[in-house]
C-alpha cells in the first residue's frame, strides 16, 4: 500500500459504483469519508467494512441528498469529493419527484457544501453516457464525444428519465462550479458491468442477472449500448482526480454493441445459461463513442469479455446465479 494520499469524500458510499470506487481509493492510500443514509445499517454496509484498509482509513457518515447542508461535515476538510450518489430506479409514479429532483437538487446540495470547504481541490461528478447520446441530429458515421449533449426535449418526450436526470444534473453542476470557481470534472460511463460488492443487487446488476437467466423484458430496451467494466469506471475517477491537466468531461466506455451482438457473444461464452436469442427490434440510431480524451491520459479499457466474466463470477459467488 502507498502512503496516505489525503482525505476524500464519496457520496452514496454503499452503491454499486461507489463501493468499488472506495475499494480502489483505499487500496491507493486515501483516507475516505463515505456518506450513507444510515451509518447504523450494519447489514447494508458490511461489504464496505470488509474492504482492505477500511478499518484504518474509512469513515461512514450520515447525509441525505435532499437535506440542505447535510454534506457539510462530511466534505469539510476533504481535498477531493466524488459525487456518485444519484437515483437510478425506474419511477413508480412521479419521475420528477423520484428521479429528477434528487439528481439535480442533490447534486447542488453536495456542491453547496463543497463551496464552504477551503481545502477543496477538485470535484469529480459521475454523470452518464446517457447525457451524451439521446439526440436525433448526429451523424452516425462520426463517433459521439464529450462535446455532445443529450436533448432535454427528446428525453422528456420519450420519458427517458435517467438520461434526463443525468443531463440536467450535470448541466446544473457545470453552471454552479463555473460560477463559484470550483474545479469540476465529470465522468460519463456507459452501462457499467462487473462484480457487485454490495450483496443486494442494484438495478443495473439485476438487469444483467435477468438477461443471464433468460428474461427479455429488462434488457429489451437496450438496443445499441456502450459497456464498461466497473473497475475501469472507478480507476478513471481516480485518474482524472490525480491528473493535474485533466479537465471537462470524460466519456468512459470500452465498447459499443448491438444487443444481438452482445447476446451472441455471451451465448457462445456461456452455453449453459438460458440467454435469450430473440429480442424485439428497437429502432435505435447507430452510434459509437470516441474515448480518445480518457485514453490520452494513458487509460486502457478492459474488454467486454472480461467485464462479463467478472460479473458472472460475482453473481455465482453471491448465490444469484448457477453456472456449470
User: pLDDT for 198-234, tens place per residue?
Assistant: 988 988 889 999 999 998 777 766 788 999 999 999 9
β-pair partners for 256? 226
Query: What is the per-residue pLDDT for 89?
Result: 59
* Position 281 pLDDT exceeds 70: no
Q: Which of 186, 217, 219, 188 is nearest to 204 (CA)?
A: 219
Question: How much is the pLDDT for 111?
Answer: 98
Q: Decide if 204 contacts 237 (C-beta within 8 A).
A: no
Position 133 pLDDT exceeds 80: yes
pLDDT of residue 2: 46
pTM of this structure: 0.95
d(CA 69, CA 9) in angstroms, rounded, equals: 15
User: How is the chain split into domains, by residue range?
Assistant: 6-195+227-254+288-296
Q: How many CA atoms lie within 13 A of 20 on its CB side?
A: 20
- pLDDT per residue as tens digits for the range 11-37: 999 999 999 999 999 999 999 999 999
pLDDT of residue 1 exceeding 50: no
**Domain 6-195+227-254+288-296: assigned CATH number:** 3.40.50.720
- 3-state helix vs strand vs coil in the chain, percent to 5: 40, 15, 45
pLDDT in tens, 143-161: 999 999 999 999 999 888 8
Amino acid at each position: 500500500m502507498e502512503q496516505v494520499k489525503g482525505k476524500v469524500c464519496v457520496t452514496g458510499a454503499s452503491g454499486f459504483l461507489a463501493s468499488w470506487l472506495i475499494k480502489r481509493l483505499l487500496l491507493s492510500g486515501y483516507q475516505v469519508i463515505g456518506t450513507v443514509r444510515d451509518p447504523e445499517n450494519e447489514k447494508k454496509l458490511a461489504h464496505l467494512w470488509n474492504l482492505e484498509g477500511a478499518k484504518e482509513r474509512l469513515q461512514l457518515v450520515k447525509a441525505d441528498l435532499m437535506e440542505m447542508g447535510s454534506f457539510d461535515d462530511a466534505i469539510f476538510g476533504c481535498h477531493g469529493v466524488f459525487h456518485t450518489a444519484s437515483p437510478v430506479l425506474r419511477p413508480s409514479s412521479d419521475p420528477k419527484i423520484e428521479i429528477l429532483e434528487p439528481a439535480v437538487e442533490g447534486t447542488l446540495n453536495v456542491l453547496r457544501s463543497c463551496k464552504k470547504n477551503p481545502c477543496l481541490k477538485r470535484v469529480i461528478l459521475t454523470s452518464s453516457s446517457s447525457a451524451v447520446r439521446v439526440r436525433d441530429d448526429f451523424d452516425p458515421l462520426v463517433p459521439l464525444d464529450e462535446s455532445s449533449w443529450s436533448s432535454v426535449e427528446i428525453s422528456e418526450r420519450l420519458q427517458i428519465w435517467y438520461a434526463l436526470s443525468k443531463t440536467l444534473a450535470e448541466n446544473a453542476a457545470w453552471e454552479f462550479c463555473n460560477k463559484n470557481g470550483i474545479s469540476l470534472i465529470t465522468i460519463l460511463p456507459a452501462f457499467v458491468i462487473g462484480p457487485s460488492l454490495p450483496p443486494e443487487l442494484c438495478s443495473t446488476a439485476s438487469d444483467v442477472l435477468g438477461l443471464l437467466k433468460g428474461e427479455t423484458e429488462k434488457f429489451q430496451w437496450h438496443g445499441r449500448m456502450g459497456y464498461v467494466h466497473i473497475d475501469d469506471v472507478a480507476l478513471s475517477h481516480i485518474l482524472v482526480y490525480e491528473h493535474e491537466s485533466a479537465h471537462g468531461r470524460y466519456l468512459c466506455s470500452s465498447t459499443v454493441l448491438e444487443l444481438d451482438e452482445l447476446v451472441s457473444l455471451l451465448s457462445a461464452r456461456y452455453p449453459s445459461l438460458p440467454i435469450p436469442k430473440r429480442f424485439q427490434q428497437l429502432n435505435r440510431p447507430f452510434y459509437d463513442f470516441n474515448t480518445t480524451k480518457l485514453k490520452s491520459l494513458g487509460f486502457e479499457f478492459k474488454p467486454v469479455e472480461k467485464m462479463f466474466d467478472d460479473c458472472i463470477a460475482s453473481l455465482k459467488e453471491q448465490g444469484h446465479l448457477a453456472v456449470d
